[in-house]
Structure 1
Amino acid sequence: MTALQSLQPRISVAPMMDWTTRDYRFFARLFNPNIIMYTEMVTTGAIIHGDAKRHLDFNHQEHPIVLQLGGSNPQDLATCSKMAQDWGYDEVNLNVGCPSDRVQNNKIGACLMAEPDLVAECIAEMRNAVDIPVTVKHRIGIDDMQTYEEMLHFVDTVAKTGCNNFIVHARIALLQGLSPKENRDVPPLRYEDVYRLKQERPNLLIEINGGIKTLAETQEHLKHVDGVMIGREAYHNPYLLAELGQLWNLEAPDRFDIMAQMMPYIAKRMQEGAPLSIISRHILGLFQNLPGARKWRQALSGGNAKTLKDVETALINIQEAMQRTEDYLKENQGDLVSN
């Protein structure tokens, strides 16, 4: 077991297309040193035949970091896994969960659950090519393959390769009839299937994904499984990652301290030619649920912020809004208690 696999509990941010970019990952890392970061899914074709550097480069601060691959050709997946190891990634993950039409047409993602022998062949080749862990992220089922027993057969088939780490999205994917967005919400969550998998295969590392939004929910899941993967909530409300630091008795960072660390990164990226909007879209949720959060989002979204000075002004404005609220609460504390 590697140092990353021995990290307990295993808490990660799910791979999300257009969201878990290197800019978001740098930002997210500032909240918690122990959260495992995933790249967006990258297809083997994009790496082998495209700009590998663009797809594989990351900041060293992002560790621990996992490259998620999309593909179904064992040799191509092995090649990309070796590249990931050489690039410095801590793990490689095979996507067997994405339900989009584009990946189905290329035999990538959730449709591979119907072909456990092929997935096992892919994982075997990937494991033979590298020393770092190779893991699988999959659904609890697809289309006509919706029973627990069918999922168990899939996991058992793949586990025979020596792969021992499975991240399970606790929803089926309906590849015909539902859009990718609907597949994230419409099929009901079946957490009990994932719990049962861990109970019946205690030798495997089982992580759960799907609809998890709070520290309390995370703690409840950890009573049954080895790890929790957080999806969209980690993007819309990134301070959740700081709250999850309680799992390791970490002190929660201050939001303004996080921005103080983020500002030099933003400046560097802008010097490299990146538009501010490409980076600022990832930090819109920093003050979620706090006074002034809406004005913060408005100041940075829609191209409103064009310079670092605009970001600094937005920070001053939200700090003042938070101070006004704090002063109001102090002044009216007696009235609030009596009411």
Structure 2
Amino acid sequence: MKPDAQALALWPTSASLSAAETDHLVLGFTLLTLLLTVPIFIAITWFAIWFRDGRIAYRTYSDRRNRLLEVSWMLIPFLLTLVFFYWGARMFDTHKHPPGDAIRISAIGKQWMWKFQHPGGQAEIDDLHVPTGQPVVITMISQDVIHALYLPALRIQMETLPDRYTQLWFKADRPGIYRLYCSEYCGTDHSVMGGYLTIMQPADYQKWLGQSATSGSLVAQGRAAFSAHGCLGCHVAGSVVRAPSLAGLFGSPVPLAAGGTILADDGYIRDKILDPDRNLIAGYRQLMPVFKGTIDEGEMMALVSYIKSLGGRSPDQSGATP
């Protein structure tokens, strides 16, 4: 089926094992719901007809009770729904903890387009190329209003918010071209804010990366921005100004002057660059200039990527509590 035709399909093609499991969960719970509710509505209809006004029917009250039956019709549905609760909770937990070896792609949503940037610096507008069989993490942010990245073939979507990073991950298994959308109304041209997800074999994906234009990797772009904004004057060994070291920062707990710690994830690094007065670090004076309004989201993602490249560990593996 062509990608545009899938937009009208009642049940879009699934392109990952996770999407197939999501389908099984939805269908299974739908069947359970029908199993539990249809007999009730049939009984209501039958009783309404059989005991309607004017019909001769047996109406004598009986005090006989079957406690086993009463307990069963409460306990069995509860246990069945509990199975689906566990199933859904397990899937939710899995989607919140991406693998450490995933390909990390950044995304920026703005009226009315999506911009994706790969680790090697390859950028694309309203299109996203990914390989099969490899986990892919998309870290996203909005440049203006609330958007939502929706990938129907993978059965996932995530809100894209201003001033806050959100994240989704997946592992696609079926090569092909599928649609992607913004599923959050974001203004006049919301309906045209979409594009295509191209799932490729790993060799084809590497070939595509090699043929795509790039001005340097995301880390290299971040290193250049780090130098251009004068960060080298403070955040390197031997600098005159005493500033926190960035080596090994990512994923580590940072002690705060107000007490407690905060986890140095993508959001913390971004917030600290834009507004250094937030979350003052214990043992340091605040001398860093405010960069809010001078760094756009694309450059910010490059800066965050560079700082992450200086060492550290994934927040999911740090064991720290923010």
Taking structure 2 as the reference length, the TM-score comes to 0.24
Higher strand share: 2
Q: Greater RCO between the two (CA within 8 Å, min separation 6)?
A: 2
Higher helix share: 1
Point out the structure with max Rg over C-alpha.
2
Taking structure 1 as the reference length, the TM-score comes to 0.23
